[in-house]
Chain A
Amino acid sequence: MASEKTSPRFPWVALVLSFLASGVGHIYCGRIARGFVLYSTRFLLPLLCVIAAFVRPSNGVFFGLILLPAAATLLIFFYSAIDAYIIAKQAALDYEMKQYNKARLYWILVAGQLTFLIALTWVGRECVYEGFYIPTRSMCPNILAGDRILANKRTLRDGYPQRGDVVVFRSSALQPPRNWVQRVIGVAGDQILIKGHDIEVNGQKLKQERAPTENIYQQQSQVEDDIYYEFNSGRRYQVLLADYASESDIDEINITVPGASIFVMGDNRDLSRDSRHIGSIQVDDVIGYVDYIYYPAEKWSRIGWFCD
């Protein structure tokens, strides 16, 4: 006869507890060491994604600190549930209750893990990384319509955007008011002169070179025009320039960028609405810098670090 201190382990209870919080199902089955390890990983792995925002972006950081931990977290979620279920099924009917086999402890652990993960995601989205879906081709050939990107919000605190940076901003001047992705061409105090495809920053014309035809981005179905390399303040990036006459209704622009503002343009120069149409953007409206393409619209080779 089972004493007061013994109780069978129900496999479905182990499954329920593991679904609610990884590792708790193991603790229910008396495997506290494995349970603790699984429980801890659900705290540590998401933290790696936060650390990624504090190091220089690269493909290694993307795969090692963002993609791999995210995939591992998902795997651990399911592994923990299945493993706890099997352990509970194998447990003896007269499982001897341990001191930590308390319903109150299970609920505390479940509440702790769920609260931590949701709070971390919230804080991470507000202060570290935010994902954006790109619906337009205004940044072709570097960011295609349908791409999903990660914008780093932390580096905003390090200073103002620089020429050549690709930023996400929200401006009420653009209708409908939504998030936009553009490249910084000029910063506060810069004299910008634009004639057709030619751009001058502080009297210096930005050099544009035709990119080789074998350029990999030519393979993208969304790239229809010719790709050029543009050089701005030591940065080189690709832009799309049509050979035919510009469809832009603005022929010549000559402005000085006001203080605490930036002048932005899309890389798809003939299909972009940007500072040529709506004027300079307040630096306060900038949300973050584009660091990674985490889900490319075309060709998985474009996944990872967003570099020009």
Chain B
Amino acid sequence: MIDEPMPEKPMYDEWIASRRAARAPCELTDRVMAAVEMRVVQRKHYVRLADRINESQPARMTACLVALLVGFLPFLFVAYAAQSFAF
């Protein structure tokens, strides 16, 4: 690209001023923001869920207890297979 000064500077100033004064259409802004929001919701729902659980201590404790129960299932199954106790 050749770096040359604009031959008619007043015309350029007028043009740049008009561009600066121009506002993005509201509709376009809304569409962009909605798309961004949708993208966040779709890709990070688990992060949002984690954030929600993180805000409440009972929710955190419940999540940990449920995980402990699920993680302990193999041990319970071994105890059952060994007839350590009857279900």
Contacts and interface: CB of A to CB of B under 8 A. Distances in A.
Contacts of B70: 19-20, 114
Contact of B68 (A19, A117, A121): A19
Interface in B29-64: 46, 50, 53-54, 60, 63-64
B75 A74 contact: yes
Interface stretch (A9-17, A212-220, A221-229): A9-17
11 contacts: A15-B64, A16-B67, A19-B64, A77-B75, A103-B46, A114-B74, A121-B78, A121-B81, A124-B81, A131-B84, A148-B82
Question: Which size bracket describes the interface of B in this complex?
Answer: 20 to 34
Contacts of A12: 53-54, 60, 63-64
Contacts of A263: none
B85 to A, nearest CB: 9
Nearest to B74: A117
Contact of B77 (A13, A15, A118, A295): A118
B34 to A, nearest CB: 20
A54 interface: no
B82 A294 contact: yes
Contacts of A131: 81-84
Contact of A10 (B50, B67, B74, B77): B50
Majority secondary structure of chain B interface residues (helix, strand, loop or mixed): helix
B73 interface: yes
Interface string A1-35: 00000000010110111111100000000000000
B16 to A, nearest CB: 32
Nearest to B46: A103
Interface in A79-104: 103
Contacts of A15: 64, 67
Contact of A19 (B46, B50, B71, B81): B71
A33 to B, nearest CB: 22
Contacts of A77: 71-72, 75
Given A19-B71, A21-B71, 7 more contacts: A10-B54, A15-B67, A17-B67, A20-B67, A121-B78, A121-B81, A131-B84
Nearest to B86: A133
Contacts of B64: 12, 15-16, 19
